[in-house]
Amino acid sequence: MPPTIFDSRHAQMFPVLSQAEIDRMRHFGHSETFAEGDMLLRAGERGHGLVVVLGGEVEVTRRDSAGQPQSIVRHGPGSFMGELAQLSGRPALVDARATQQVEALVISPQGLRAVLVAEADLGETIMRALILRRVALLEVGAGGPVIVAPRGHAGARRLAEFLNRNSHPMLLLDAGEDEANALLERFHVAPGDWPIVLCAGGQVLRNPSEVQLARCIGLVGAIDPDKVYDVAIVGAGPAGLAASVYAGSEGLSAITLDCRAFGGQAGASARIENYLGFPTGITGQALMARAYTQAQKFGVEMAIPDEVASFEPGEEGEPIRLRLASGEVVQACTVVLASGVRYRRLDVPGMADFECASVHYWASAMERTLCAGEEVALVGGGNSAGQAVVYLAAKAKKVWLLVRGPGLEATMSRYLIDRIEGLPNVELLPHTQIVGLEGEGGILEAVRWRRLSGEEGRREMRNLFLFIGADPNSDWLANSGLAMDRQGFVLTGGEGRHPLETSRPGVFAIGDIRAGSVKRVAAAVGEGAQVVAAIHAHLGAERAPKAEVARAV
């Protein structure tokens, strides 16, 4: 068994600060005393923030599937408590108890963000520890909700994938296991109740939606209806996250919203090998998770998952209003549209029945594990499809690659084509379309396809991957009055406008949703950085006349 991150990077996870480093942090927080036995953190509840132990000892524990405490670490003088949840003030994932009287320096989430920015070297040590601690919790599924359902249940897979995309730990239990039965003895479970979810705070959910689960575990909270942000960013893909990082780092009050998870399509990429600065490649999830954390470091408010239902421009001089599916309203002086695209689906009878459990639009570690030792089919001929093929082939028995065209040369980068050609367990089927799916209860059993020659094929398999392009995610803008092209991409630029500004002043479009954009991660990140300069210019122009009036009065 390979070493866990607890073993391999323990010193970086749990550094001990020097007295000089602690002294540099004192003005960011306040001193507090905890008696022996006091709880400093409870899983599912919001904590104090970062807690630096000055004297005494604190034991940090996680709860196993039976709710029993399992020790993680004991913090003594110079150690600090916290992981990424403390960066944004979200509920804790672990419990912490004073095993003796503790003197501590308590730093609020806002103060912690100030430390990270003001104390670069010290901030790097702290940030690395916070990230590694979250990774360690993800490894063991600690601190997150417990999802219980029959093996292969589509609803459980849906929730597990949602949490995985949001880098939130969870524990998935088969309802037939003894471990799960002990939990289920307390509940009367009807067929429609699966999956059962036990949140860290003790709440029990029956077949929840992703939004219900997110609110239960504190991933998303209430939005202040009276606050007017400098900018609201709709979409947390590479373009939206880049705009978030640059807006936050330049002092703008910003909120970023996404209907499901951070990362967008890039976050679902198995491996990105042509992104500047990563010669050995990096998974899309890892790259986007860094950007997501970086945006929070600069104080950007994250509302994920929170879906924007409509766009209300308002009268001149009034803030723009974004009405959410939850009924809440976000007000902002400017808005950045970065909602990207949505995956295209095959027009095959019964496709929707298999989408939660057997049909996938990305290839993450979870999907690769499901395919280990099995045959899978993948449809698509672009770079995303190629990256997924290479990633899945490392574990799958065989990957059938289906494309409508004559081959891959016109649509895929040469380095990926060469790599695929060198894989013995990948078979390319050109001029081929899927014509049927077989299975029951949402579980795929076989895939049928037809070639241009009329020849038909059928293979037994339980997983199908679709990488067949995407359409603009702009339906929610239907009544906005913004100019769009025939396909629904948002038009920008024009006489007297910034190249990223839409037909409505103060509203900008970046990334894949923008008409004419280059569909590459680096291009999206570049537009995300560029748009912040345009926001500053717009806000300056809007506020200058008001300042002149104030001086005159």
Quote the CA–CA distance of 463 and 67 in Å, as a whole number: 34
Domain boundary among 140, 167, 197: 140
CB atoms within 10 A of CB 445: 13
Residue 553's pLDDT band (boundaries 50, 70, 90)? very low
Domain match, 423 and 529 both: no
- Residue 402, token pair as written in the block: 């289906």
Domain match, 336 and 477 both: yes
Q: Where in the sequence is the domain holding 360, given as residue range(s)?
A: 351-468
Q: Flag whether pLDDT at 131 surpasses 50.
A: yes
pLDDT tens-digit readout, 184-219: 666 777 777 889 998 887 889 999 999 999 999 999
Tally of domains within the chain: 4
Coil, helix or strand at residue 385: helix
Indicate which CATH number applies to the domain containing 211: 3.40.30
For the range 61-66, what are the long-range contacts, defined as Cβ-Cβ under 8 Å and sequence gap of 24 or more? 61/94, 61/95, 61/96, 61/97, 62/93, 62/94, 62/95, 62/137, 62/140, 62/142, 62/143, 63/95, 63/142, 63/143, 63/200, 65/146, 65/171, 65/173, 65/179, 65/180, 65/183, 66/179, 66/182, 66/183
Quote the CA–CA distance of 186 and 80 in Å, as a whole number: 37
Q: Flag whether pLDDT at 304 surpasses 80.
A: yes
Q: Are 333 and 230 in contact (CB under 8 A)?
A: yes
Residue 180's pLDDT band (boundaries 50, 70, 90)? low
pLDDT tens-digit readout, 7-57: 889 999 999 999 999 999 999 999 999 999 999 999 989 888 999 999 999
pLDDT mean over 415-422: 95
Q: Are 483 and 491 in contact (CB under 8 A)?
A: yes
Distances (CA, A) of 252 to 44, 246, 333: 30, 9, 11
Residue 439 pairs in a beta bridge with 444
Please name which of 229, 244, 234 lies closest in space to residue 531, comparing C-alpha atoms. 244
Q: Of residues 111 and 179, which shows the higher confidence score?
A: 111
Average pLDDT, the chain: 90
Residue 8 has a pLDDT of: 87
223 in any annotated domain: no
For the range 17-24, what are the long-range contacts, defined as Cβ-Cβ under 8 Å and sequence gap of 24 or more? 17/52, 17/78, 17/79, 17/80, 17/122, 17/125, 18/78, 19/78, 21/122, 22/52, 22/54, 22/78, 22/105, 24/119, 24/122
Strands (E), 478-519: 507-509
221 in any annotated domain: no
Q: Are 128 and 95 in contact (CB under 8 A)?
A: no
pLDDT tens-digit readout, 82-130: 999 999 889 999 999 999 999 999 999 999 999 999 999 999 999 999 9
pLDDT mean over 441-453: 91
Domain match, 335 and 367 both: no
Residue 234 pairs in a beta bridge with 257, 337
Coil, helix or strand at residue 118: helix
Indicate which CATH number applies to the domain containing 113: 2.60.120.10
Domain match, 152 and 131 both: no
Domain boundary among 140, 156, 187: 140
pLDDT mean over 526-539: 96
Q: Are 126 and 51 in contact (CB under 8 A)?
A: no
Indicate which CATH number applies to the domain containing 274: 3.50.50.60
DSSP state of 513: G
The C-alpha R_g of the chain, in whole angstroms, comes to 25
Residue 6 has a pLDDT of: 82
Q: Flag whether pLDDT at 548 surpasses 70.
A: no
CB atoms within 10 A of CB 15: 17
448 in any annotated domain: yes
Q: Are 466 and 346 in contact (CB under 8 A)?
A: yes
Residue 350's pLDDT band (boundaries 50, 70, 90)? confident
- Residue 48, token pair as written in the block: 């104090």
401 in any annotated domain: yes
Domain boundary among 119, 140, 161: 140
Q: Flag whether pLDDT at 550 surpasses 50.
A: no
Quote the CA–CA distance of 370 and 390 in Å, as a whole number: 16
pLDDT mean over 403-414: 93
Domain match, 94 and 154 both: no
Domain match, 14 and 135 both: yes
278 in any annotated domain: yes
Domain match, 317 and 272 both: yes
Residue 401 pairs in a beta bridge with 378, 428
**Most trustworthy range by pLDDT among 2-11, 89-98, 537-546:** 89-98
156 in any annotated domain: yes
Domain match, 476 and 332 both: yes
Q: Of residues 549 and 166, which shows the higher confidence score?
A: 166
Domain match, 477 and 464 both: no
Domain match, 207 and 244 both: no
222 in any annotated domain: no
Q: Are 532 and 539 in contact (CB under 8 A)?
A: no
- Residues in contact with 214: Cβ distance below 8 Å, sequence separation at least 6, in sequence order: 162, 166, 220, 304, 305
Residue 545 has a pLDDT of: 56
Residue 488 has a pLDDT of: 94
Domain match, 310 and 423 both: no
Quote the CA–CA distance of 426 and 530 in Å, as a whole number: 41
Any alpha helices (H) in 309-453, and if so which ranges? 351-354, 365-370, 383-393, 414-421
- pLDDT > 90 in the chain, percent: 68
Residue 147 pairs in a beta bridge with 172, 197
263 in any annotated domain: yes
Domain match, 383 and 459 both: yes
pLDDT mean over 463-484: 91
